[in-house]
Structure formats: structure tokens, C-alpha cells
């Protein structure tokens, strides 16, 4: 059963997180605001050593939740595995990461470079996670599941504290994968900016999290067909759904075309090459401009690890 995210632990978390992951820049651009019809406040999490916000939570987890020298197993689409490998190996913990056979090669190479043993299994993230869980049980190692460990969400919640301190906003649009980011940000924002609307975003081709939160019960899908590999969830974590529903006011879905349009505009106006899952917040604004018109809207640019093919496509756009 997941431990619920707590505000006091989010406030305390930065003491345990490598400073290279903290105080990331907040980007604004008047021309981009004009194109969107709202004032965008973009928290850029792409310039740290793993190109993702995941370093915040994995740092906190490795600092507080592991016994000395304790080895672990996890599954990852790439960014969580990078964060856990960096945080764990630097502290003397062996880290084995299971990833899908179709995983982004840039992320696979990065995980190995950071010291993880990477094993490929299954056609997608959830298939790899099933194998990882079975392997951990068979060899009696700790299985670390992104979305269930409180420290992963609490580390992510430091983003919200930084955002709230940097600029006022009326709404925040948050990527929704397994839920650690939403749990951390939602918990913090409910306390430090209670007026702000919190909107979670999934890819239309991977709707399981939206369907599950909207219905209040676990909904699995047969496929997760999206370029946004970081939020390509087929099998939600049932025990987290009620808490995630409390952490947001709405869950919306965006198309593949809208995701790429957001990537292109972010690159053009902000100069950041962000991976698809990192662009879905802007995609949600593009998808429903009337909802956000004239408002101050925060979002997170939370992945800079594009596959070679996606980077080539973005730069050619």
C-alpha cells in the first residue's frame, strides 16, 4: 500500500536532494503567450544531469528509504531509471532496471552510463514492470515502483514549492504517468496555492490513468499507443487512484498531433527541445484555449531525452 504524500516532508525534502536538481529556471516568452492566449510559466527540468524532474524524487528516496548497501530492482521508460541509478549507485547501492525492448536508446545508454544494470523485457513499460517485479521476488531484492514510494512524489513536490515562490499562477497543468509528479505537485499546491486549478494530462493513445481516475476504479487498456513514452501507462496502480483524484481538479487527454505541435512551439519560443511527455502540459493549453484564456498557467517541461528519430523530426519541423 503506498504511503501518502505529506506536505511537511515535501518542505523538508530539499535538504536531501543534490542541488543540481533544485531551483530549475522558470521560462516565459511574450510571443509564446500571445500564441497561446494566456501567460505561460514553464518550469524547465531538462538541464539537470538526467534531463528530468525524476532526479528530485530518486535523490530523496535513495537518501531516506534504503538500508546501507541495499540493492534494488525497478522498471522504467528511462528517466526514472536514470534518476534511481544516479542516486543509488553514488550511495553504494546496486540498481537493476528493466525496460521495454522498444525503449528509447538514448535513455538506455544513459541508464547504463550512470551505473545501472539494464535488462530489456516486454513490448512496453508495463510488460517490463511485470518482469521486473517477478525477478525481484525471485531473487529477494527490493522492487521500487515509481508511483508508490512516497519519497518519489515528495521529491517531485519541491517543484511546486519553487513555482509558487517564483510567480503567482491561476492554474497548473501536470503530466500524468504513474502519478508521482501529480501526487507531489498536487499535495503541495493544495496547501501553498489553494486557489490554483490543477489539471492532469494524459495522451489520448494511453488513456488508462484518465479512465481510472474518472471512474474511480482500475481500468487497464490493451495498448498504450503514444509518442509520449514517459506517460505511456497501460496498467495504473490501483491503490494510488483515490489520492491522485484528490490531487487534481480534472484529467484531460491530448492527441499525438497536439503533443508534437506543443514540442515544436516550445522549441521555437523557449529554445528547449523537450520530449513528448514533457510537452503535454502545453498541448493541453493548445487543445482548449478558451479554458486558459487570459490566465496565468504553470507547467513543467520535464524531459530532455529525445530519441534520435524524434530529435531529427523536431529540428526539421
Contact 237, 148 (CB under 8 A): yes
Provide mean pLDDT across the span 115-127: 97
Q: Are residues 155 and 117 in the same domain?
A: no
Could you give the CA distance from residue 20 to residue 51 in angstroms, rounded to a whole number? Answer: 11
Q: What is the pLDDT, as a whole number, of residue 1?
A: 40
Give which of 76, 23, 69, 71 is closest to 47, Cα–Cα.
Answer: 23
Residue 37 shares a structural domain with residue 67: no
Residue 81 has which C-alpha cell? 531509471
Query: Which of 102, 127, 144 finishes a domain?
Result: 144
- Assess if residue 166 is contained within a domain: yes
Secondary structure of 42-101 in the HEC alphabet?
EEECCCCCCCECHHHHHHHHHHHCCCCCCCEEEECCCHHHHHHHHHHHCCCCCEEEEECC
CATH number at residue 212: 3.40.50.1100
Residue that terminates a domain, selected from 101, 121, 144: 144
Predicted confidence (pLDDT) per residue in 57-80, tens digit: 999 999 999 999 999 999 999 999
- C-alpha 225 chain-centroid distance: 18
pTM listed for this prediction:
0.96
Residue 253 belongs to some domain of the structure? yes
Residue 39: the pLDDT is 98
Contact (Cβ atoms closer than 8 angstroms) between residue 100 and residue 118: no
Q: Does residue 2 form part of some domain?
A: no
- Structural domain containing residue 271: 9-52+149-316
Last residue of a domain, one of 125, 144, 163: 144
**70 and 160 fall within a common domain:** no
Q: Which of 266, 291, 182 is nearest to 231 (CA)?
A: 182
Structurally, the chain folds into a number of domains equal to 2
Q: Where are the alpha helices (DSSP H) in 114-250?
A: 125-139, 150-166, 180-192, 208-215, 241-246
Q: How far apart are CA 215 and CA 115, in angstroms?
A: 40
In sequence order, the 6+-apart residues with CB closer than 8 A to the CB of 21 are 48, 49, 53, 55, 56, 59
Q: Is residue 39 part of a domain?
A: yes
6 band by pLDDT with thresholds 50, 70 and 90: confident
Does pLDDT of 2 surpass 70?
no
Residues forming beta bridges with residue 75, ordered by sequence position: 98
- For 227-284, what is each residue's pLDDT tens digit? 999 999 999 999 999 999 999 999 999 999 999 999 999 999 999 999 999 999 999 9
Instruction: Examine residue 1 and state whether it is found in any structural domain, yes or no.
Output: no
Residues 246 and 226 in one domain: yes
Q: What is the mean pLDDT of the chain?
A: 96
Q: Alpha-carbon torsion 208, 124, 50, 287, what sign?
A: negative
Residue 185 in domain = yes
Q: Are 275 and 226 found together in one domain? A: yes
Amino acid at each position: 500500500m503506498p504511503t501518502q504524500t505529506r506536505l511537511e516532508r515535501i518542505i523538508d525534502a530539499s535538504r536531501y536532494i543534490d542541488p543540481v536538481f533544485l531551483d530549475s529556471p522558470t521560462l516565459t516568452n511574450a510571443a509564446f503567450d500571445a500564441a497561446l492566449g494566456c501567460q505561460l510559466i514553464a518550469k524547465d527540468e531538462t538541464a539537470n544531469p538526467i534531463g528530468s524532474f525524476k532526479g528530485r524524487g530518486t535523490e530523496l528516496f535513495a537518501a531516506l528509504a534504503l538500508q546501507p548497501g541495499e540493492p534494488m530492482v525497478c522498471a522504467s521508460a528511462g528517466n526514472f531509471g536514470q534518476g534511481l541509478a544516479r542516486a543509488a549507485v553514488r550511495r553504494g547501492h546496486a540498481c537493476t532496471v528493466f525496460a521495454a525492448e522498444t525503449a528509447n536508446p538514448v535513455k538506455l545508454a544513459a541508464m547504463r552510463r550512470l551505473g545501472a544494470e539494464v535488462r530489456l523485457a516486454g513490448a512496453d513499460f508495463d510488460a517490463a514492470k511485470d518482469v521486473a517485479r517477478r525477478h525481484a521476488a525471485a531473487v529477494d531484492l527490493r522492487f521500487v515502483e515509481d508511483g508508490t514510494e512516497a519519497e518519489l512524489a515528495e521529491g517531485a513536490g519541491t517543484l511546486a514549492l519553487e513555482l509558487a515562490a517564483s510567480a503567482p499562477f491561476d492554474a497548473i497543468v501536470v503530466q500524468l504517468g504513474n502519478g508521482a509528479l501529480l501526487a507531489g505537485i498536487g499535495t503541495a499546491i493544495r496547501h501553498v496555492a489553494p486557489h490554483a486549478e490543477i489539471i492532469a494530462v494524459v495522451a489520448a493513445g494511453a488513456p488508462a490513468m484518465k479512465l481510472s481516475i474518472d471512474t474511480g476504479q482500475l481500468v487497464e487498456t490493451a495498448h498504450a499507443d503514444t509518442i509520449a513514452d514517459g506517460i505511456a501507462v497501460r496498467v495504473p496502480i490501483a491503490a494510488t487512484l483515490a489520492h491522485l483524484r484528490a490531487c487534481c481538479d480534472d484529467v484531460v487527454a491530448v492527441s499525438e498531433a497536439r503533443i508534437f505541435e506543443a514540442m515544436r512551439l516550445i522549441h521555437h519560443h523557449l529554445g528547449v527541445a523537450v520530449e513528448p511527455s514533457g510537452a503535454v502540459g502545453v498541448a493541453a493549453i493548445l487543445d482548449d484555449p478558451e479554458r486558459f484564456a487570459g490566465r496565468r498557467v504553470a507547467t513543467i517541461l520535464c524531459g530532455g531525452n529525445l530519441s534520435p528519430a524524434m530529435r531529427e523530426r523536431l529540428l526539421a519541423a
